[in-house]
Structure 1
Amino acid sequence: MFMIMYMSIIILLISNTMMFISIILSKKSFSDREKCSPFECGFDPKSSARIPFSLHFFLITVIFLIFDVEIALIFPIINLFKMTNIYMWFKISFFFIIVLLLGLYHEWNQNMLNWTN
């Protein structure tokens, strides 16, 4: 027990020391208008390089990734069926599916699943 505690303290100290050294030694850069503007062969840019970002598309992407990870977490439940008794498997599966359905209901309630505004 103490060995794990000592190792975690040592790892914490080493990582914090490395982060502190990197902050001290990092190159300071001063941003000016020329450095922040896009480079177009020496000419002034014709239009803004910063296109507007669709927050709605980003949220739909995050929801898709969450459901994708949830599907990846469901696959081991199939193998778990062979290793445990049916009652324990049913409890685990039911709890997991209920959590997924509650998340889906919350997203539906917040109108996050609408493709258009």
Structure 2
Amino acid sequence: MQLGEPSWREVLRFAVFCRSLTLVLQVLTRFLGSSTPVVYWFPAHLLQDWEPLLWPRETMPEKVPVVCSLLGQETLKNPVWGLLCNWRACSGVTRAILSYFLSYWLLGLLLHCNFLPWT
């Protein structure tokens, strides 16, 4: 063995350390994501305060279109579809929240299907 070359024990220790660290991080993020509703309450609170499309009809401005061009429906059962269909009419806060959750979902879908660590 030459000077500066790691032994097989050092390589094994490093591999076990890296795997245990990623395992702990994945388990912690899954526990926090599934058992802490505050993570979802805060964006919901921001959407309720900043998005006129989610307000009752009597307080909603007349300029906002109601029809979803993607689905061809007047009344949508899911408010998220209504926000996505009226993307241009949404506020900046709503766009940021929707972009975060959609990118998290898409990135998680792509990475998980390729057996990469993603929670």
| TM norm structure 1 | 0.30
Higher relative contact order (CA 8 A, sep 6+): 2
Structure having the higher Rg: 1
